[in-house]
């Protein structure tokens, strides 16, 4: 996302303030210019950018920094607070029975978001159901059904019925046992009258507790008009911004949220059902500014570890901590990391690793390669016997040949996996000693919950296990 640039360019400018205890008007001008440049480039509305930069300028010059606060930290805090203020709170979504309707243009990501949100609610212990009323786009029914299956949630749709209002009504009846009803609606290329009529009718039948507008992060200034029109017809209570994993600018969607006085409910960060995050303004801005977002990371880690534990009740992390780090342990860690989402996103959330940190020193495709390797390692592990998984050091050439045949992977890859395991085993101890306070607390949490410290720490290190 282009907004990411804000973090890196701003850090560069702010770094010039290092060592200074007072800031001049010139310094402030420079910081503000940098913010303006990044936000305008990211498609944030001009008047919004001006308002924000005026506030920052005024505060930085008029407020007295608390004694002992370096100028850089003082300005960074003001920028952070003003950005959080601009973005506003997260949409309130109580964890209780409710009906949510999704609206948005074609391709904005409604169907995907419906399944993701259902998955998210199911992880919070609720029983969600997705109701697909899109009779306009051929294929919408199958896509929604498949996504709901992947999310393991209830689904209702009817490919033989061409009346979306009727489907909505029947869908609510058919899924009455569910707690959270998520109603997906059809999109069009543009805001056409028939789309608006249709969604208004569905809204009357469904009577949602909240309607969320789904916006593609790539949308520019057009987002404003869309948001206003949908708001007028069905009342928008919150926004889901999708495709934040891409190169999208993001600023248009943020502007729309501000213009319609709504708030952000969720962020979509990929095509899989688990690629969704509840929007947390503080965490979001911290990440943007490269300050790390431990809150969000800990949530993902916890969720991932819970799932790993559910599947592998017999796995004892204590063994690993006592030095017996087997391939089974390694597989658990890879599974846990897969569940946390793409590695580069996880890294963004760790202070010091994300923007401006270690990650920036890696080549752009380093993370993809890493995930590709993890996938081939998984295939290889599936072809190994229990004994080989427990005692990887005993795997000899004839076994390597057999595993290569079984997994369809070159022998080289199998040796690479064994080598990687050895490295991880060695680094495990090292990383437990060398982490900062936040990381140590987090690792402890992982360990208590059935994970281990080695994998996460290892992932970040340049020469670490997954690096």
Ligand X SMILES: Nc1nc2c(ncn2[C@@H]2O[C@H](COP(=O)(O)OP(=O)(O)OP(=O)(O)O)[C@@H](O)[C@H]2O)c(=O)[nH]1
Distance between CA atoms of 182 and 187, rounded to whole angstroms? 16
Q: Which stretch binds ligand X (CB under 6 A): 84-92, 109-117, 371-379, 444-452?
A: 109-117
**Element holding 268 (H helix, E strand):** strand 264-268
Q: Which is nearer to ligand X, 109 or 450 (CB)?
A: 109
Minimum distance, C-beta of residue 238 to ligand X, in the bound complex (Å): 16
Q: Which is nearer to ligand X, 274 or 427 (CB)?
A: 274
Site for ligand X in 172-201 (CB under 6 A): 186-187
Of the candidates 45, 134, 293, 344, which one interacts with ligand X according to CB under 6 A?
Answer: 134
Binding flag, residue 109, ligand X (CB under 6 A): yes
List the binding residues for GTP.
Answer: 104-111, 184-188, 242-245
- End-to-end CA distance of the chain: give it in Å, rounded: 23
Distance between CA atoms of 452 and 436, rounded to whole angstroms? 16
Minimum distance, C-beta of residue 81 to ligand X, in the bound complex (Å): 28
Q: Order of strands, edge to edge, in the sheet holding 98-103?
A: 154-156, 128-132, 180-184, 98-103, 210-216, 238-242, 264-268, 276-278
Helix, strand or coil, per DSSP, at residue 122:
helix
Binding flag, residue 447, ligand X (CB under 6 A): no
Site for ligand X in 259-298 (CB under 6 A): 268-271, 275
Binding flag, residue 108, ligand X (CB under 6 A): yes
Residue identified by tokens 């609206």 is 103
Site for ligand X in 377-416 (CB under 6 A): none
Integer-rounded Cα Rg, in Å, for the chain is: 25
Of the candidates 8, 36, 98, 106, which one interacts with ligand X according to CB under 6 A?
Answer: 106
DSSP 154-219: EEE--TT---HHHHHHHHHHHTTT-SEEEEE----SS--HHHHHHHHHHHHHH--SEEEEEEETT-
List the binding residues.
Answer: 104-111, 184-188, 242-245
Of the candidates 246, 351, 461, 467, which one interacts with ligand X according to CB under 6 A?
Answer: 246
Task: Output DSSP code: residue 90.
Answer: B
Of the candidates 70, 88, 107, 235, which one interacts with ligand X according to CB under 6 A?
Answer: 107
Minimum distance, C-beta of residue 299 to ligand X, in the bound complex (Å): 18
Q: Which residue is nearest to ligand X (CB)?
A: 187
Distance between CA atoms of 141 and 71, rounded to whole angstroms? 56
Q: Which is nearer to ligand X, 246 or 357 (CB)?
A: 246
- Nearest C-alpha neighbor of 140 from the set 112, 166, 119: 112
Binding flag, residue 137, ligand X (CB under 6 A): yes
Binding flag, residue 250, ligand X (CB under 6 A): no
Binding flag, residue 368, ligand X (CB under 6 A): no
Q: Which stretch binds ligand X (CB under 6 A): 26-34, 134-142, 323-331, 457-465?
A: 134-142
Task: Output DSSP code: residue 442.
Answer: H
Interface contacts to ligand X, rule CB under 6 A:
104, 106-112, 134, 137, 140, 143, 186-187, 242-243, 245-246, 268-271, 275
């Amino acid at each position: 996302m282009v907004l990411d640039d804000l973090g890196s360019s701003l850090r560069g400018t702010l770094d010039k303030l290092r060592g200074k205890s007072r800031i001049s008007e010139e310094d402030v001008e420079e910081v503000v210019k940098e913010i303006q440049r990044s936000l305008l480039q990211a498609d944030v509305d001009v008047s919004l950018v001006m308002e924000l930069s005026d506030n920052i300028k005024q505060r930085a010059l008029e407020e007295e920094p608390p004694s002992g606060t370096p100028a850089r930290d003082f300005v960074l805090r003001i920028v952070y607070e003003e950005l959080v203020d601009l973005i506003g709170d997260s949409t309130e979504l109580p964890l209780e029975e409710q009906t949510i309707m999704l609206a948005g243009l074609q391709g904005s990501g409604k169907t995907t978001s419906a399944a993701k949100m259902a998955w998210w609610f199911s992880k919070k212990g609720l029983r969600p159901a997705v109701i697909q009323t899109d009779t306009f786009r051929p294929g919408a029914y199958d896509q929604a059904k498949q996504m709901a299956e992947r999310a393991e949630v209830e689904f209702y749709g009817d490919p033989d019925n061409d009346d979306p209002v009727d489907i909505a009504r029947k869908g609510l009846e058919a899924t009455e046992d569910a707690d959270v009803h998520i109603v997906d609606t059809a999109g069009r290329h543009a805001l056409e009258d028939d789309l608006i009529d249709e969604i208004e009718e569905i809204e009357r039948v469904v009577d949602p507790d909240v309607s969320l507008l789904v916006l593609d992060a790539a949308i520019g200034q057009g987002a404003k008009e869309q948001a206003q029109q949908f708001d007028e017809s069905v009342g928008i209570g919150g926004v889901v911004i999708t495709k934040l994993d891409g190169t999208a600018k993001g600023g248009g969607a943020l502007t729309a949220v501000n213009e319609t006085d709504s708030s952000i409910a969720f962020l979509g960060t990929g095509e899989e059902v688990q690629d969704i995050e509840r929007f947390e303004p503080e965490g979001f801005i911290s990440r943007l500014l490269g300050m790390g977002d431990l809150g969000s990371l800990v949530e993902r880690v916890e969720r991932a570890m819970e799932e790993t534990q559910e599947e592998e009740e017999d796995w004892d992390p204590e063994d690993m901590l006592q030095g017996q780090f087997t391939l089974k342990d390694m597989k658990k860690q890879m599974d846990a990391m897969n569940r946390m989402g793409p590695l580069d996103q996880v890294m963004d959330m760790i202070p010091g690793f994300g923007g401006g940190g270690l990650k920036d020193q890696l080549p752009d495709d380093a993370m993809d390669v890493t995930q590709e390797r993890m996938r081939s390692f998984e295939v290889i592990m599936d072809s190994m016997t229990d004994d080989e998984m427990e005692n990887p050091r005993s795997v000899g050439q004839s076994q390597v040949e057999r595993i290569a045949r079984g997994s369809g992977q070159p022998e080289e890859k199998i040796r690479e996996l064994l080598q990687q395991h050895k490295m991880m085993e060695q680094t495990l101890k090292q990383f437990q000693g060398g982490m900062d306070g936040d990381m140590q607390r987090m690792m402890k949490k992982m360990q208590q919950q059935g994970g281990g410290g080695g994998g996460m720490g290892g992932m970040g290190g340049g020469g670490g296990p997954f690096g």
